[in-house]
Amino acid sequence: MIYICKGCGELCQLPCKACDACCKAISESCKCVGDLFRPICDGPLASYVLATWLCMIMVAAAGGYGIADSECDRAKQACIAFVALAVVHAVFAFYLQRQIMSGLVRKGAHPSSHEELAKEAVHILLYDVGVCFYTLIYFGSFGFACYSFVMLSCGAGAGWGAAVLLVLYGWLALTYLMAWYCCRCCAGKVLPKQVQRQLQQQPQQQQVMGVPMPSAPAQDV
């Protein structure tokens, strides 16, 4: 009888054990996802990169669906262009963050220094070849997105959503980058030097996108 009771007890515990295994698997999966995105989240312009990726995924999905749903060749061509532009915008967002971090490493600057971030962003904007090419693509993308409403007028289905998202992205991305730069400049001037020195004294040996970030020596006030 005791063995029958033990067997019933084990059977009753099976759902709990299965639930524990599922919870452990979900926890490990979330940890892997967190580790994957942590280098991006720890770098500058993290919100810009993640928001751009999310927006461009929606643009690519709407454009891809619009290719199959379009009723004329012009609308299909516009949807194909939407997908291509979504890929370019998503790649550049990561590229810009990578270039800023690499520039800080080369100069031995601390990633927590708002003033150094602003200076490096300006340097990349003026001298980086990739940024120069993307600037043309960016404004061209915005202009094409506005013109695409004419191309989609023959019937594009989900392509309309991609066009609207690209127009909104053209305004919001530029606004965000300008606001980010202004905030970095203001924070670099307003933030007390004692606080900046404390930030610089904190150990920063983590790697951001595979680039080791050295801790900068404290500067005398």
Per-residue pLDDT at 119: 81
Q: Which helix (H) or strand (E) holds 213?
A: none
Which residue in the block uniquely carries the two structure tokens 């609308």? 75
Per-residue pLDDT at 220: 42
Q: Are 163 and 85 in contact (CB under 8 A)?
A: no
Low-confidence ranges of the chain (pLDDT < 70): 1-37, 109-113, 187-221
CA distance 207 to 191: 26
Per-residue pLDDT at 182: 83
Tell me: the pLDDT tens digits for 104-123?
Answer: 777 776 666 677 777 888 88
Q: Are 39 and 208 in contact (CB under 8 A)?
A: yes
Per-residue pLDDT at 167: 94
Q: Half-sphere exposure (CA, 13 Å, Cβ side) for 11?
A: 6
